[in-house]
Amino acid sequence: MASLLGNLFILAAPSGAGKSSLIKALLEKHGDNATYPMQVSVSHTTRQPRPGEIDGEHYHFVSRDQFESLIEQGVFFEWAEVFGNYYGTSRVTIEQTLHRGIDVFLDIDWQGARQVKKLLPDARGIFILPPSVEVLRERLTRRGQDSEEVIASRMTEAVSEMSHYAEFDYLLINDDFTTALHELEAIVCAQRQQASKQQIRHAALLAQLTSTDT
């Protein structure tokens, strides 16, 4: 694949670690930056919308049959089945967005991260962990969205999810939210300054600065 101006960031975490909140805060703080635009990828899913979620904004909500049809068509950059529901990301949409110089954040699990890295090795994986198992359980309970049985299932799944942290490029511990957000900002900023990216973004300037005619 040709060099892409935008950066693809893969963010994974166990449910309750604060991944979605960090992405939301980052976009609210920097989303209107015209020089370095960014957006979160809107995935497809077969799960039911939660209160306040809007189709096309939070997820593209589709039926199981529709999702499986999209799999057969090769639409997805990555897809996985989590807690009995499918989740997937459109490959064409992601690549077009990156070519336009827009940074994209994928809110996916480790299975999806593996698939994306195979197709786009330059993608940067960021894994977010809670400061303790007790805090993770407290956050899941505080949501008030799931039964005790569902919370117990999520805690079991969290252990499996967290065992894959070493497959990622960066590791954040979300103990203090403000600190974790600053650390996420630092990762994004450093990635943008890579020479390969800057050579594309500032091609005209670099040509001028290195010209023997000056």
> Which domains, ranges and CATH numbers included, belong to the chain?
8-41+103-209 (3.40.50.300)
Burial 182-205 (b: 16+ CB within 10 A, else e): ebbeebbeebbeeeebeeeeeeee
Question: What is the crossing angle of helices 19-30 and 177-192, to 10°?
Answer: 60
Q: For 178-211, write each residue's pLDDT tens digit.
A: 999 999 999 999 999 989 889 988 999 999 999 8
Q: What is the pTM of this model?
A: 0.82
Provide the token pair at 4. 């892409």
Please report, in tens digits, the pLDDT of each residue of the chain (214 residues total). Answer: 456 789 999 999 998 899 989 999 999 998 888 888 999 999 899 999 989 999 988 899 999 999 999 999 999 988 888 889 999 998 888 988 999 989 999 988 898 899 899 988 999 999 999 999 999 888 888 876 778 888 888 888 888 999 999 999 999 999 999 999 999 999 999 999 989 889 988 999 999 999 887 5
Question: Could you count the other beta carbons within 10 Å of the beta carbon of residue 57?
Answer: 8
Q: Is the dihedral of CA 146, 147, 148, 152 positive or negative?
A: negative
pLDDT of residue 214: 57
CA distance 121 to 99: 16
pLDDT of residue 2: 53
H-helix segments, 13-132: 19-30, 64-72, 91-99, 110-119
pLDDT of residue 144: 66
